[in-house]
Structure 1
Amino acid sequence: MALKSEHREPVGIVVHDHGNGPEPCFRGDYAEKAAHDCSRGRGHGWGRGWTQWPVRVLLGALTLSVVVASGAAGIERYLSRKYMSPQAPLTQASITSADKAGWMSQGRELPDYAPPVVLTFHDVNKNSKSPYVLTPKAFDAQLTALEKAGYRTLSAKQFTNYMNGGPVPRRSVLLTFDDGTDGLWKYADRILAKHRMHGTIFLITGSMDKHRPYYLTWREIERMHRSGRWDFQSHTRAMHSVKPVDATGNTGAPLVNRLWLKDEGRRENAAEYRARVLHDLVGSVDDIVRHGMPTPSMFAVPFSDGPGQQDADSTDSQARHLLKELFPLVMTDHSSVPLTPSRRSASTGLVQRVEVYARTTPDRMLEDVGRNVQVPARAHRPLFEPENWGGRQTTRTSFDVFLGKAPSTAQTPLYAKADYRPNSSVDWTDYSATALLGSLGNGTNQAALGVRTNSKEPMTVVITRNRATLLANGYKVASQPLDPKSEHTVTVRVGRDTTTAYVDGQVKLSHVSNRPSDQLSGGITIRSGINKAGDQWPVFRSLDIAPLEDASRRG
């Protein structure tokens, strides 16, 4: 069977699909069209010819950017979920109109302009049994009380400006928070924003991003910093703990103790202690700066309200010297000499704070703050303000012992002491105090009026029935006999460096200190003593405190 011959198109004709189905084309026309397409960049189709590689690279780059953006967004979502806790809804305390009126009343008794008071908080959280943790409602109530009493809050920069010699601010507080707990982001931040207040957090920088969800993360910290509501200072990098300090296993805070080197069977020497502590402190500063925040100017002593921490407050301790190398201001909740913010504490670089606990009511907090506000050296009837007398040594009796109202029994102590507004008189100078002392008996009892209380050189005038003695820091510097009688009037004038006492307007005792005047400011102390149980206690019949006349003119 003969094969059927294959049908072929004429040589000059081709079949080509131009987009409308197959159709014959003359080869000459096709060649011309193809050349025309190539000249327009199409070749035999889109992306072919000499432009195909730039187009493919562009498309690839676009695809890659979409993939990268999608991946980056995914990573960001993952990191946000891991390092950004969701903030809780704003919590509001139930506050009555009577509460608000009471808080406003407490504020009216204080000066409008005075050095700020520093408050210590630790954490704000729900369902905690810790005595240091406030609930969100309690924290809201605390801030409301401060607001109604007329307090404003300061930033770290504003506070250090005053401590560096700047003007006295309006009635204010510095809110500080130790450790850097996540509750400050989750709960406290929105409450702070509600009251338009400012907070300062002392971070244990080595714990951030760790031990979740207890501590803050650096992402949360950076967000808080950008809000303008928060400042961040140092609480060490990794010294908020206790470590062995001897071979028997006793422990102590690493900041103020030389640690036990177990492998070497000895304690650190001075050089090793210094190197370790400085490495930690410098590291904490670097951590904060590396995350875009200003260099810390303040430091809070770890465990500053616990036993054995007084060494960090001591002016001659190695820890104190190391802290002064890096931080102009050191905060503590416990100090042998409580110096709240003042010109005096600015000169030492050490500031005592007022701690707020879970049990602290708003009223109690305002009372504590009020007792630490610096007030003028003026009080006409301080003996009728028993609530303002602190530093008492009146075991088993009350303030009435100074007024001759306390019964004398075999259990009554032989000595009593009280300081007038000890935390509020830190800056007192150029003032006078006059006391009328009675019931001095036959010389078996004595009364004393002290000035410059809590200064580096407190002064005391001791009065018996027949003698006056002036003590400087407990040492006798002058003494004069008196006309024997049961009642004497004592006036003490306190200048910058000179203390002068007059007894009954005639006998004069004086002392000039060689210490710097910024170490000599301080307030008033009264003392009473008897030689044996059953003796008559001396009586403070009156006491008056007033500025010196020349100080008033300078005022």
Structure 2
Amino acid sequence: MALKREQRERHVVVHDHGRGPEPCFRSDYADKSGHDHTRGRGLGWGRGWTQWPVRVLLGALTLSVVVASGAAGLERYLSRKYMSPQAPLTRASITSADKVDWTRQGLGLPDHAPPVVLTFHDVNKKSTSPYALTPRAFDAQLTALEKAGYRTLSAKQFTNYMNGGPTPRRSVLLTFDDGTDGLWKYADRILAKHRMRGTIFLITGSMDKHRPYYLTWREIERMHGSGRWDFQSHTRAMHSVRQVDATGNTGAPLINRLWLADKGRRETPAEYRARVLHDLAGSVEDIVNHGMPTPTMFAVPFSDGPGQQDADSTDSQARHLLKELFPLVMTDHSGVPLTASRRSASAGLVQRVEVFAKTTPDEMLAAVGERVQVPADAHTPLSETENWGGRQTRTSFGVFLGKVPRSAQIPRYAKADYRPDSSIDWTDYSVTTTIGALGNGTNQAALGVRTNSKEPMTVVVTRNRAILLANGYKVASQPLDPKSDHTITVKVGQDTTTAYVDGHVQLTHVSDQPADQLTGGVTIRSGINRTGNEWPVFRALDISPLDRTPGRG
């Protein structure tokens, strides 16, 4: 018995059968130990033929966890670096009286009209810049627009109208120049509150730089993804002033050939063209490469500053270069106030209404209301003194109504335009006026149509003659029965202007200019030859669509 126990003990082997180390009493184990992979190792994962695939899988899982953890950490780092936290929503303190007044300012305006374009720059709680609105001020501006019945358009909707699409409901295009970080931090939530849209003109070369003043591309991509924001070009790196001559004078790089110090000369026209096109194309590329649509609009840098108007001029080299890439150019200053209209679409140039830190909601609404295009239909415009602009006189509008104060300071010439910013698209209308006090033969008055167009037309009358001027040049002249009062009716068609004086004297001119560049409103003028003479008097004035005008046709 003891011998058998001793023999069993000699054959006890500690072995791992897949469940950890344990005694093995198999008498044939030693003979088969060389084939271990056919025995116990097959009882557990990672043993036998499964060991390498399982180890590879476990390694891959471990690596993926490490990578995911690292990616999450990197994302947190990049978000902290390139995503500013948004400030809590700020609400303006607005009284019920304010809301009622803003609603009133929208009454009487057309329900459908070409949009008006507004320019903002920055929304920032702490900035002292005259261009930066506080969040509360921005909220008040949007509330005023909302109460007055304005809607906002996307860049695509605005472009669609300018390309000949249907006239939208009364609306505005909110534009923001430069691309400041305050638009993400403060303006975005305010815009969302009002369910409005905004269009930002980016200086693309400044994004991700000069933090925290400018936006980052991460913020821009998030804003674009919200559906509230569109992005257009404000150059890549030409929002600056640089040296333009040997004496050190500076100017805007968009409209000036720059001084090349290393070569001791200015850029050649070819070098200027290549530089500007490279910058403009680069700004488009920057926006497209971040997943946004190709820009169709461009905002001129410093368009409200002195010496920058050349970029807005239709015959400037800068304008020709801009037209190669952008169908529409935005400016805050232009010699002709082409607010959004069919005529501005044809010219490819739109003048905006600029909003500053000091601009009140009432002032902003008044400026927008003046630019809403209205129909050519006004029967007592001489009583609407607030709607006459473009005056060239040092006295009141009363000079046209015979209310002239006796003073040596009164000039000899006066001019006023009726709704100059809201009659840009007028055509197919008739205007009739009666002018009196022409009895002494030393004074004259005039009725103008197609104001601010490519070819404004003017009918000048004196006591005994009528003259038709096209862009200041005489194209027709007829004698009149001498008398102190004359009645003028002018009919304005697509390209034809016909004037009747006293119902029977006719003067006609057919323009060779494009019809879409001939639209415009009404102007009145008065003049005296010597101080102390009697001023002509406009006794009545009526504007009507052609199909409503009585008289000859």
TM-score over 0.5 for the alignment? yes
Q: Is the aligned partner of 1:194 residue 2:193?
A: yes
Deviations 1:72-131 (A, max 9, x none): 111100000000000000011111111111111111210101111111111111122211
Q: Is the aligned partner of 1:464 residue 2:462?
A: yes
C-alpha spacing 1:440/1:80, structure 2 compared with 1 (3 Å) = same
Native 8 Å contact 1:41 1:50 kept in 2: no
TM-score, structure 1 as length reference: 0.94
| CA positional deviation for 1:512 | 1.1
Segment of structure 1 superposing worse, 53-62 or 128-137: 53-62
Native 8 Å contact 1:12 1:26 kept in 2: no
- Residue matched to 2:380: 381
| CA positional deviation for 1:435 | 1.2
Distance in 2 (alpha carbons) for counterparts of 1:31 and 1:477? 126
Deviations 1:7-58 (A, max 9, x none): x977851342667987573542576699677446458x86454433333222
Distance in 1 (alpha carbons) for counterparts of 2:39 and 2:338? 88
- Residue matched to 1:64: 63
Query: Where in structure 2 are the equivalents of 1:35-434 lying within 5 Å?
Result: 38-39=38-39, 41-42=41-42, 47-395=46-394, 397-434=395-432
Native 8 Å contact 2:133 2:356 kept in 1: yes
Distance in 1 (alpha carbons) for counterparts of 2:505 and 2:384? 30
Segment of structure 1 superposing worse, 10-19 or 496-505: 10-19
- Residue matched to 2:25: 25
Distance in 1 (alpha carbons) for counterparts of 2:401 and 2:91? 46
Residue from 425, 447, 450 that aligns with 1:449: 447
C-alpha spacing 1:15/1:197, structure 2 compared with 1 (3 Å) = same
C-alpha spacing 1:381/1:34, structure 2 compared with 1 (3 Å) = farther
Native 8 Å contact 1:297 1:328 kept in 2: yes
Q: Secondary structure at the match of 2:541?
A: strand
Deviations 1:292-319 (A, max 9, x none): 0000111111111111222112221111
Distance in 1 (alpha carbons) for counterparts of 2:251 and 2:207? 23
C-alpha spacing 1:542/1:66, structure 2 compared with 1 (3 Å) = same
Distance in 2 (alpha carbons) for counterparts of 1:23 and 1:539? 127
C-alpha spacing 1:544/1:31, structure 2 compared with 1 (3 Å) = farther
Native 8 Å contact 2:430 2:549 kept in 1: no
Is there any run of 5+ residues in structure 2 with no aligned partner, and where? 1-5
- Residue matched to 1:527: 525
Distance in 1 (alpha carbons) for counterparts of 2:198 and 2:171? 12
Distance in 2 (alpha carbons) for counterparts of 1:333 and 1:519? 21
C-alpha spacing 1:20/1:313, structure 2 compared with 1 (3 Å) = closer
Native 8 Å contact 2:45 2:54 kept in 1: no
Deviations 1:333-379 (A, max 9, x none): 11111111111111111111111111111111111111111110011
Distance in 2 (alpha carbons) for counterparts of 1:124 and 1:492? 48
Is there any run of 5+ residues in structure 1 with no aligned partner, and where? 1-7
Native 8 Å contact 1:408 1:535 kept in 2: no
Q: Secondary structure at the match of 2:399?
A: helix
Native 8 Å contact 1:453 1:523 kept in 2: yes
| CA positional deviation for 1:408 | 3.2
Distance in 1 (alpha carbons) for counterparts of 2:324 and 2:260? 26
| CA positional deviation for 1:522 | 0.4
Distance in 2 (alpha carbons) for counterparts of 1:345 and 1:467? 36
Q: Secondary structure at the match of 2:324?
A: helix
Equivalent residue letter for 2:155: A
Distance in 2 (alpha carbons) for counterparts of 1:91 and 1:30? 84
Native 8 Å contact 2:433 2:488 kept in 1: yes
Deviations 1:511-540 (A, max 9, x none): 111111111110001111122322222211
Query: Matched residue pairs, number?
Result: 544
Distance in 2 (alpha carbons) for counterparts of 1:276 and 1:57? 56
Q: Secondary structure at the match of 1:326?
A: coil
Deviations 1:172-228 (A, max 9, x none): 111111111101100111111111111111111000000000100000000001111
Equivalent residue letter for 2:356: Y
Distance in 2 (alpha carbons) for counterparts of 1:443 and 1:252? 51
Distance in 2 (alpha carbons) for counterparts of 1:193 and 1:447? 53
Query: Where in structure 2 are the equivalents of 1:471-482 lying within 5 Å?
Result: 471-482=469-480
Deviations 1:390-419 (A, max 9, x none): 111112x12122122131311112211111
- Residue matched to 2:3: none
- Let me know the Cα RMSD of the aligned residues: 2.2
Equivalent residue letter for 2:263: E
C-alpha spacing 1:460/1:32, structure 2 compared with 1 (3 Å) = same
Equivalent residue letter for 1:421: R
Distance in 2 (alpha carbons) for counterparts of 1:89 and 1:242? 36
| CA positional deviation for 1:551 | 9.4
| CA positional deviation for 1:484 | 2.3
Q: Secondary structure at the match of 1:263?
A: coil
Among all aligned residue pairs of Structure 1 and Structure 2, give the percentage whose two residues are the same amino acid.
Answer: 79
Deviations 1:476-531 (A, max 9, x none): 11122222222221111111111111112122211111111111110001111122
C-alpha spacing 1:22/1:450, structure 2 compared with 1 (3 Å) = closer
- Residue matched to 1:503: 501
Distance in 2 (alpha carbons) for counterparts of 1:20 and 1:379? 102
C-alpha spacing 1:514/1:55, structure 2 compared with 1 (3 Å) = same
Q: Secondary structure at the match of 1:128?
A: coil
Distance in 2 (alpha carbons) for counterparts of 1:190 and 1:464? 62
Q: Secondary structure at the match of 2:211?
A: coil
Deviations 1:267-287 (A, max 9, x none): 111111110000000000000
Q: Secondary structure at the match of 1:500?
A: strand
Native 8 Å contact 1:260 1:268 kept in 2: yes
Equivalent residue letter for 2:450: R
C-alpha spacing 1:35/1:155, structure 2 compared with 1 (3 Å) = same
C-alpha spacing 1:9/1:252, structure 2 compared with 1 (3 Å) = farther
Equivalent residue letter for 2:318: A
Native 8 Å contact 1:124 1:187 kept in 2: yes
Equivalent residue letter for 2:337: P
Distance in 2 (alpha carbons) for counterparts of 1:91 and 1:513? 55
Deviations 1:130-167 (A, max 9, x none): 11111111111111111111111111111111111111
Distance in 2 (alpha carbons) for counterparts of 1:46 and 1:321? 75
Segment of structure 1 superposing worse, 89-98 or 77-86: 89-98
Equivalent residue letter for 1:490: I
Native 8 Å contact 1:104 1:149 kept in 2: yes
Distance in 1 (alpha carbons) for counterparts of 2:172 and 2:415? 30
